[in-house]
Amino acid sequence: MNRPNRAILMGFLTLVVLVLAGVTLSKGGFYINKHEGDTLHLLQMVLRMAQGDWPHLDFVTPIGVFSFLPIVAFLKAGFGVGHAILWSQVLVAVLFLPAIWWVSFSRFKGGWAYLFGAAVLVLILALVHGEGVRAVSISMHYNRWAWAAAFLVIATIFVPNEGKNRPVADGMVVGFGMAAMALIKVTYFAGFALPVLVGLAGRKAGMTVLWAFISGLAVMAAVTLAAGMGFWSAYLNDLIAVSSGNVRTQPSLPFLSVIGAPAYMGGSLVLVSGVILLRQAGRGLEGLILLTLVPSFFYVTYQNFGNDPQWLGLLGMMLFVTLPSGGVRNSLGWNLHKALMLTATAALIMALPSFFNLAYSPFRHMRAVIEDHSPVLPGSGVHEDLQTAQIRANRIDGRIALDGPGTPFMAFTDAEMRDENYEFQGETLPNCSIELGVVAWYSAMAADLKAAGLVGGKTVFAADLLSSYWLYGAFAPLPGAAPWYYGGLPGFDAADYVIVPLCPMSTKLRGLILAEITNQGIVLTEVRRNSMYILFEK
């Protein structure tokens, strides 16, 4: 196979962007069908940033600033938040396009160049985080963007450039790509730093390293100029606080399950087989790089909710373009060209369900029935262009314990089966959590708080997973708060009130927060109570 035509490849990649972007934007709004809680988490951060706040400096989050800046740019230009989210993905695709073109052209031959480039663009422009659930969602968009950067960097250091050496282009891809990972989700930077160093050292790419360093330093300088030197220490403090806490120790499955559970074992075996077969085929450096990527792929997958091994598709494509000649055999007599081809094929087949879900998510969005949706932020004017399914917005479902005191199942009660704390200031709180209808839930509580005249110019600390009351007009954003609770009492000192939902999003986190307040010897004064919440004054 020969290298693709430069102009045709760029034309194809541009067409992919235009098609996916056009289909996505054709609805005139953004219509999601799941993950409203995650969406409110995102809205808290981007709307605060549009008002001048910075992540890490003004609120706590382990997610990097580049996850939000493209959205914020369109919010500041006057777009509604729904359109801002959709256009941000187009912007990221355009910004990545030169690097996608270069890596596709310089590292892949024939149809693989087109497939690789399209796969990276699909990661950026998709409207679902992956896996096999078809419902449209913007949740964890930063994982997709970080995978796109990782694909570019890993392909650059793994697949040799058989054309003229271009250290400037390669170095800029590596430098900007690693910087993007560090400022989108640092898990990716930490996970892939060693394989990148091994690959660059193995290829003796000194000038590539220099240009990668210059490119990364330029990004750091730009962020420092915009946010100040304190940004980096604040970012580090957020990362330390989240990683050392006991709230978010793992998003989904345990680490060993990500490697050896039935759904993942096949991919793990394919990955390890790729390492062994590459080494036997005389591809020593590629085998070594892939060996260092094994724990990296597992770690990043473990750190992502849903544990979707997006690396499978990248693995398959890279193995196909590094196949040895047909006559190479190992000590068992295996034809290693065929063995690696089968390994690559297996990786691609296992990657297909998630990839297809990503690829046609914009087309599912195009077919959304507008009448079946309602605003995530009702009454917000321009921001009503972000909508969710009415049944998910307005049908309020909860989960309650049926084996408590006074129930027919009291004899089966076992406190060790429940790790939540339901006691606070001498009162037993209900064992109940909200599972569906967070839009109506927040709307009702915010309306009640406003009607009581308690919210004007005040701030609130929520004993719950999220603190989105201000999005619905109740209270002001809390300085130093964590839009998604990770532990401790971030922002507590700046709060005027503490709100305790009687049926929160997470009874476990409500218990942890109230226990933290109690352990610090803080006594709160109740100022309002109803069937939805208890409001305390500090």
DSSP class per residue in 34-51: S-HHHHHHHHHHHHHHHT
DSSP class per residue in 124-150: HH-SS-SSS------TTHHHHHHHHHH
pTM score, two decimals?
A: 0.95
For residues 260 and 201, state if they share a domain. no
SS3 433: strand
pLDDT beyond 80 at 248? no
Contacts by residues 121-124 (CB-CB < 8 Å, ≥ 24 positions apart): 121/13, 121/16, 121/17, 121/20, 121/93, 121/96, 121/148, 122/16, 122/20, 122/355, 122/358, 122/359, 123/147, 123/148, 123/151, 123/310, 123/358, 124/89, 124/92, 124/93, 124/96, 124/148
Tell me the per-residue pLDDT of 488-524, one tens digit each, with 9 for 90 and over: 999 999 999 999 999 999 999 999 999 999 999 999 9
CA distance 268 to 151: 18
Query: Which residue, among 40, 69, 72, 26, has the nearest Cα to 393 in the 3D structure?
Result: 40
For residues 207 and 241, state if they share a domain. yes
Task: Taking residues 459-488, report their average pLDDT.
Answer: 95
Q: Is residue 146 part of a domain?
A: yes
For residues 65 and 187, state if they share a domain. yes
For residues 200 and 56, state if they share a domain. yes
CB atoms closer than 10 angstroms to residue 380 = 18
- Give me the half-sphere count of Cα atoms (radius 13 Å) on the Cβ side of residue 229: 0
* Contact by Cβ (8 Å): 231, 224: yes
pLDDT at 476: 95
* Domain stop point among 206, 224, 245: 245
Which two tokens mark 145?
A: 């963007």
For residues 276 and 297, state if they share a domain. yes
* Contact by Cβ (8 Å): 55, 45: yes
Q: Is residue 13 part of a domain?
A: no
For residues 348 and 436, state if they share a domain. no
Q: Is residue 28 part of a domain?
A: no
Query: Which residue, among 14, 10, 9, 19, has the nearest Cα to 363 in the 3D structure?
Result: 19
Which two tokens mark 194?
A: 């060693």
pLDDT beyond 80 at 395? yes
Q: Is residue 143 part of a domain?
A: yes
- Strand pairing class (432-436; 30-32): unpaired
CA distance 147 to 120: 8
For residues 314 and 260, state if they share a domain. yes
Q: What separation in angstroms does the CA of 366 have from each of 26, 183, 220, 401?
A: 7, 31, 38, 40
Strand ranges for 21-132 from DSSP E? 30-32
CB atoms closer than 10 angstroms to residue 390 = 14
Cα torsion through 417, 419, 425, 426, rounded to 10? 10
Residue 76's identity, in one-letter code, is K
* Domain stop point among 180, 210, 245: 245
CA distance 309 to 307: 6
Tell me the per-residue pLDDT of 306-319, one tens digit each, with 9 for 90 and over: 999 999 999 999 99
Q: Is residue 19 part of a domain?
A: no
pLDDT beyond 90 at 85? yes
Residues 6+ apart with CB under 8 A from 77: none
For residues 240 and 257, state if they share a domain. no
For residues 417 and 478, state if they share a domain. yes
Backbone angles phi, psi at 142, to 5 degrees: -65, -30
- 3-state SS, one letter per residue, for 220-280: HHHHHHHHCCHHHHHHHHHHHHHHHCCCCCCCCCCHHHHHHCHHHHHHHHHHHHHHHHHHH
Q: Is residue 274 part of a domain?
A: yes
SS3 420: coil
Domain hosting 347: range is 252-359
Query: Which residue, among 288, 284, 350, has the nearest Cα to 315 in the 3D structure?
Result: 350
Q: Is residue 304 part of a domain?
A: yes
Q: Is the dihedral of CA 219, 223, 226, 229 positive or negative?
A: negative
* Domain stop point among 359, 383, 408: 359
Q: Which of 37-51, 189-203, 390-404, 439-453 has the lowest mean pLDDT?
A: 390-404
For residues 177 and 298, state if they share a domain. no
For residues 174 and 318, state if they share a domain. no
**Domain count along the chain:** 3
Mean pLDDT over the full length of the chain: 94
Q: Which of 64-73, 242-251, 529-538 has the lowest mean pLDDT?
A: 242-251
pLDDT beyond 80 at 106? yes
Q: Is residue 420 part of a domain?
A: yes
Contacts by residues 321-327 (CB-CB < 8 Å, ≥ 24 positions apart): 321/107, 321/108, 321/109, 321/112, 321/159, 322/158, 322/159, 322/160, 322/278, 322/283, 322/286, 324/281, 324/282, 324/283
For residues 94 and 123, state if they share a domain. yes
Tell me the per-residue pLDDT of 117-138, one tens digit each, with 9 for 90 and over: 999 999 999 999 999 888 999 9
pLDDT beyond 80 at 405? no
